[in-house]
């Protein structure tokens, strides 16, 4: 049984270097399928999800070499088995990006239905709507495989009913070599959507408007290799910003793009923190109390849903009652609230709304990570709490945060990783 053990009370102080963006890396690694020559990608975070994505590429027959901890060489020009089996797809939701890139290259794709964080029903109807608009037939065949085929891919005008990050990325990957022009409307504008468009354009694509409501793609015949550096991780940065404010610390969060953090900074300032912006860093500290706030998650540039659990953890110790609305995912994104309640939090959840009544302090307790960002929230709660918090199911956290404990220890946190035999396993006969 692997656990994190967190001794609360330390104020986080010092400097933390943010790694490359997980959600940009997963889209960009899938996009290497479209390159007819090798790609070198830098600033890839060394986390479980990127390891799974590299394994998918290797198992397809691509040549994959780690040039250093965060730099990878990928030559996907020759693939022997262009499909994604369940053993990989069940471990990582973003495995479905290989649908778009395999379609874009071969006009056919077979990818097992996705796995990943359990955040309620996470349909892919908008992905399929986009693929079909480009001329694909898409079926779910025996064994939960999504099977897509097209005689040819022809540009189309597609309006997404939801500004879905995944659908925007997946359809962009399928459309980049389609015949003619594809217009995508009501698209997601997250930083990693823009990073993917920049990556594809560095390979010779013609994608305009990423980061706005409309993306226009002129199909091209060939995509070459490229050298590309992934943007810093907006959510990892936000997680450390909240941890600094929650512990009353003073942290310089470096290697960031402050513009990507504006909605997080704005809410932290309302909650009583000070946020100083520099060219590629933000400094976060708090001297007064944590103020109650209202918060609603929204697609970018609104407050990111992936920062909602971390903020709720901090608001457990606010003066007054905060109201948080989760408007992106179903109420499954509040599953972690039961774990915070075990630490003395007073939170009522009703559908998409959580009402957090601040308490003087949290107390350490044995808890679980219920998903990736909820796991980060439990670490923040443990850092704030009095006493010891043991966090189980830390595999969720290790999917998305590079060297998480080491970075926290560098800031003065008393955290450690332990691995104990499973006590509830039946004794060996
Ligand atoms: C991406 O998930 C991220 N994952 C998530 O981050 C993030 O929470 C989410 O975007 C929102 O920002 C990756 O990038 C790998 P969506 P995705 O499609 O693409 C509904 C993390 O912690 N929807 O924007 O799945 C969907 O159910 C992870 O790093 C449809 O209804 O998110 C959800 O309610 C967790 N039909 C909403 O839209 C569709 O076809 C937003 O989903 C697609 C989505």
* DSSP per-residue string spanning 375-419: HHHHHHHHHHSBSEEEEE-THHHHTT-TTHHHHHHHTT-EEEEEE
Please indicate whether residue 13 is annotated as part of the active site.
no
What value, to the nearest 5°, has the Cα angle with vertex 395 and ends 391 and 396? 85
pLDDT in the model for residue 120: 59
What is the whole-number distance in angstroms between the Cα of residue 164 and the centre of ligand 1? 6
What is the whole-number distance in angstroms between the Cα of residue 118 and the centre of ligand 1? 11
3 state DSSP class of 262: helix
What is the position in ligand 1's atom list of the atom closest to the CA of 192? 14
pLDDT in the model for residue 151: 96
Per-residue tens of pLDDT for the chain, all 429 residues: 899 999 999 999 999 999 999 999 999 999 999 999 999 999 999 999 999 999 999 999 999 999 999 999 999 999 998 888 888 888 888 999 999 999 999 999 999 887 655 655 668 899 999 999 999 999 987 778 899 999 999 999 999 999 999 999 999 999 999 999 999 999 999 999 999 999 999 999 999 999 999 999 999 999 999 999 999 999 999 999 999 999 999 999 999 999 999 999 999 999 999 999 999 999 999 999 999 999 999 999 999 999 999 999 999 999 999 999 999 997 679 999 999 999 999 999 999 999 999 999 999 999 999 999 999 999 999 999 999 999 999 999 999 999 999 999 999 999 999 998 776 656 555
- Ligand 1 site residues (CB inside 6 A) read 22-23, 26, 93-94, 117, 122-127, 162, 164-167, 188, 190, 305-306, 328-329, 372-373, 400
What is the position in ligand 1's atom list of the atom closest to the CA of 166? 19
Q: In this structure, what are the phi and psi dihedrals at residue 138, rounded to the nearest 5 degrees?
A: -130, 125
DSSP 361-376: --B--EEE--SHHHHH
What is the position in ligand 1's atom list of the atom closest to the CA of 169? 19
Compute the distance between CA of residue 412 and CA of residue 212 in angstroms, rounded to an integer: 40
Closest residue by Cα to residue 155 from 176, 127, 126: 176
Output the furthest CA–CA distance in the chain (Å, rounded). 67
Contact by Cβ (8 Å): 365, 406: no
pLDDT in the model for residue 423: 66
* Adjacent-strand bridge partners of 291: 319
Q: What distance, in Å, lies between the first and last C-alpha atoms of the chain?
A: 20
Residue nearest to atom 6 of ligand 1 (CA): 306
What is the whole-number distance in angstroms between the Cα of residue 245 and the centre of ligand 1? 27
Contact by Cβ (8 Å): 113, 146: yes
Q: Which member of 13, 39, 117, 316 is catalytic?
A: 117
Q: In this structure, what are the phi and psi dihedrals at residue 311, rounded to the nearest 5 degrees?
A: -65, -40
Tokens 């694509």: give the residue.
Answer: 205
Question: How would you classify the pairing of strands 353-357 and 346-350?
Answer: antiparallel
Find the helix or strand (DSSP H, E) in which 237 lies: helix 234-246
What is the whole-number distance in angstroms between the Cα of residue 331 and the centre of ligand 1? 14
Residue nearest to atom 31 of ligand 1 (CA): 123
Contact by Cβ (8 Å): 421, 1: yes
Contact by Cβ (8 Å): 377, 312: yes
What is the whole-number distance in angstroms between the Cα of residue 270 and the centre of ligand 1? 27
Compute the distance between CA of residue 56 and CA of residue 30 in angstroms, rounded to an integer: 9
**Given ligand 1 and candidates 49, 163, 328, which is best to mutate, with the most ligand atoms within 8 Å of its CB?**
328
């Amino acid at each position: 049984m692997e656990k994190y053990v967190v001794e609360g009370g330390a104020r986080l102080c010092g400097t933390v270097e943010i790694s490359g963006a997980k959600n940009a890396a997963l889209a960009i690694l899938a996009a290497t399928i479209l390159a007819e020559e090798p790609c070198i990608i830098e600033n890839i975070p060394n986390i479980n999800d990127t390891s799974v994505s590299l394994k998918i590429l290797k198992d397809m027959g691509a040549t994959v070499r780690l040039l250093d901890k965060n730099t990878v060489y990928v030559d996907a020009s020759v693939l022997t088995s262009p499909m994604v089996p369940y053993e990989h797809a069940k471990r990582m939701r973003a495995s479905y990006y290989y649908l778009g890139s395999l379609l874009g290259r071969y006009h056919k794709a077979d990818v097992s239905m996705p796995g990943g964080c359990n955040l309620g029903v996470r349909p892919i109807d908008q992905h399929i709507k986009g693929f079909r608009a480009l001329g694909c037939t898409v079926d779910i065949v025996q064994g939960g495989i999504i099977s897509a085929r097209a005689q040819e891919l022809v540009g189309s005008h597609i309006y997404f009913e939801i500004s879905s990050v995944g659908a925007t990325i997946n359809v962009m990957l399928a459309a980049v070599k389609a015949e003619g022009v594809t217009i995508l409307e009501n698209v997601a504008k997250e930083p990693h959507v823009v990073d993917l468009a920049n990556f594809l354009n560095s390979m010779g694509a013609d994608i305009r408007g990423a980061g706005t409501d409309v993306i226009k793609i002129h199909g091209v015949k060939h995509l070459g290799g490229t050298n590309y550096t992934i943007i810093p991780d907006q959510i990892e940065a936000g997680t450390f910003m909240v941890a600094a404010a929650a512990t009353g610390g003073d942290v310089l969060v470096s290697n960031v793009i402050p513009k990507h953090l504006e909605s997080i900074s704005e809410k932290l300032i309302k909650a009583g923190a000070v946020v100083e912006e520099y060219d590629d860093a933000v400094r976060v500290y708090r001297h007064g109390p944590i103020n109650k706030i209202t918060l609603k998650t929204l697609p970018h540039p609104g407050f990111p849903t992936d920062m909602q659990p971390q903020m709720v953890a901090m608001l457990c110790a606010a003066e007054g009652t905060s109201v948080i609305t989760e408007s992106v995912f179903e109420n499954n994104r509040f599953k972690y609230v039961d774990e915070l309640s075990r630490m003395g939090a007073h939170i009522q959840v009703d559908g998409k709304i959580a009402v957090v009544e601040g308490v003087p302090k949290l107390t350490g307790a044995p808890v679980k990570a219920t998903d990736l960002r909820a796991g980060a929230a439990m670490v923040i709660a443990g850092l704030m709490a009095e006493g010891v918090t043991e966090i189980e199911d830390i595999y969720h956290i290790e999917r998305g945060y590079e060297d998480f404990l080491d970075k926290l220890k560098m800031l003065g946190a008393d955290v450690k990783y332990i691995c104990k035999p499973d006590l509830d396993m039946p004794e060996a006969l």
